[in-house]
Chains A and B, each alone.
Chain A
């Protein structure tokens, strides 16, 4: 598409390219379409013009008016972003249906417009947006005791899980890098071990949910019929570790003591402090808890949750 200013126009001095670009962005990204975009404060501050004057800025083609040509970009902008959000949250989209999902997504793009050069960051605030706009928000904020867990919480949990999986997939990982090995542990005695701090892998994320969304996520992904639905599970607190090995995102369900232990290690607490935190949540006696701890640390080390011993 070509932009042009005709001679003897009130705007017959070319504005700098950066101004034209900003004006174009303000117009095509306006949520109410290009008519409103042209008359928006953002666009008028850059290049004041009325809709009738648009043809002086954007040339018309044989078949399309300037307005129609500009609308192609405006429509494509939102269509592309909605498609990207749909790709990032496929289970949520399937859960609420395409129409409702697109409604959420469109509202989200108004409140949290894309500011990054990369679409990888597009859904950063989506779960927060769902929480901010939940229909029962005022109601739940007004009551002092813990509000009952409901459908909006389920959707927020699903969105949080999906976005975390997306971020772990795209983020830094441990592929090709050394992780905690037997050599690292050489020379560390049982008396030193409680004071040791472990560096967790950069791709390890620990999540706490109000619903058992991991099982739901897996079940929905396995559906082959696009029209098939699975009912939302009943509320139940659940804990999850999401990590990545060999470029595959892996999900590990955790108990609450396991979650608290890993969270403490990730926060930089010592092994001793972290184990103590988990122990306060366990009903097990020392003997069975020792056996459990041995298995937990074995699995987490083998799954490469730990990158190294922290040098402090």
Chain B
């Protein structure tokens, strides 16, 4: 069929296919969410607990590595380094997924610590949101 033959198309059939796909996608999404909840088990407040998973997410002066004047300015992770998914020692010490540093169990974190260059901005953003919610002050982010 060429694009010129569109008037002969069965649009009700095409639309029905779209509806069917949408239903399948919505069902898959619901299952995915259920699976994610049981698999990752995240708790945002864990991002603020010690040890922390990367630079710039320490909650107080002295609770991060390297010289830093205040919260949010540490130079590196205080959590033990690990290089891949599921190798984290404890809760709140896993790397990526959408919830770095928020896994609730040992070996349930995703990816490496210290965080990768792709994951760190997510953690920092979430750190800023959490600190603002608690009315806590923090410094500008340290350079990578």
- List residues of A whose CB falls within 8 A of some B CB: 169, 175, 179-182, 184-185, 188, 190-191, 193-194, 245-248, 271-272, 275-276, 279-286, 289-291, 293-302, 304, 306
Measured CB to CB, the nearest residue on chain B to A285 is B1
Question: Are A304 and B13 touching (Cβ within 8 A)?
Answer: no
Report how far A272 CA is from B6 CA in the complex, Å.
13
Report how far A190 CA is from B23 CA in the complex, Å.
12
Question: Are B99 and A246 touching (Cβ within 8 A)?
Answer: yes
Report how far A300 CA is from B26 CA in the complex, Å.
9
- In the bound complex, residues from chain B placing their C-beta under 8 Å from that of A179 are 29
Name 21 interchain pairs, CB-CB below 8 A, sorted by A. A182-B30, A190-B16, A246-B98, A271-B18, A272-B11, A275-B14, A275-B18, A276-B6, A279-B11, A283-B2, A286-B9, A286-B14, A289-B14, A290-B14, A294-B18, A294-B21, A294-B24, A297-B20, A298-B21, A301-B21, A301-B25
Question: Are A193 and B25 touching (Cβ within 8 A)?
Answer: no
- In the bound complex, residues from chain B placing their C-beta under 8 Å from that of A245 are 98
Question: Are A302 and B32 touching (Cβ within 8 A)?
Answer: yes
Pick from A191, A293, A300: contact of B17, CB below 8 A. A293
For the side of the interface on B, what is the size category?
20 to 34
Report how far A180 CA is from B30 CA in the complex, Å.
10
Report how far A299 CA is from B26 CA in the complex, Å.
9
Does B67 make an interface contact (CB < 8 A)?
Answer: no
**Interface-lining segment among B51-59, B77-85, B121-129:** B121-129
Measured CB to CB, the nearest residue on chain A to B31 is A302
- In the bound complex, residues from chain A placing their C-beta under 8 Å from that of B28 are 298, 301-302
Report how far A301 CA is from B22 CA in the complex, Å.
6
Does B37 make an interface contact (CB < 8 A)?
Answer: no
Does B134 make an interface contact (CB < 8 A)?
Answer: no
Report how far A194 CA is from B13 CA in the complex, Å.
10
Measured CB to CB, the nearest residue on chain B to A180 is B26
Question: Are A182 and B26 touching (Cβ within 8 A)?
Answer: yes
Measured CB to CB, the nearest residue on chain B to A189 is B19
Report how far A284 CA is from B2 CA in the complex, Å.
8
Report how far A186 CA is from B18 CA in the complex, Å.
15
Report how far A282 CA is from B122 CA in the complex, Å.
39
Pick from A181, A280, A285: contact of B30, CB below 8 A. A181
Does B3 make an interface contact (CB < 8 A)?
Answer: yes
- In the bound complex, residues from chain B placing their C-beta under 8 Å from that of A182 are 23, 26-27, 30
- In the bound complex, residues from chain B placing their C-beta under 8 Å from that of A276 are 6, 9, 11
Report how far A291 CA is from B16 CA in the complex, Å.
11
Report how far A280 CA is from B5 CA in the complex, Å.
8
- In the bound complex, residues from chain A placing their C-beta under 8 Å from that of B6 are 276, 279-280
Does B133 make an interface contact (CB < 8 A)?
Answer: no
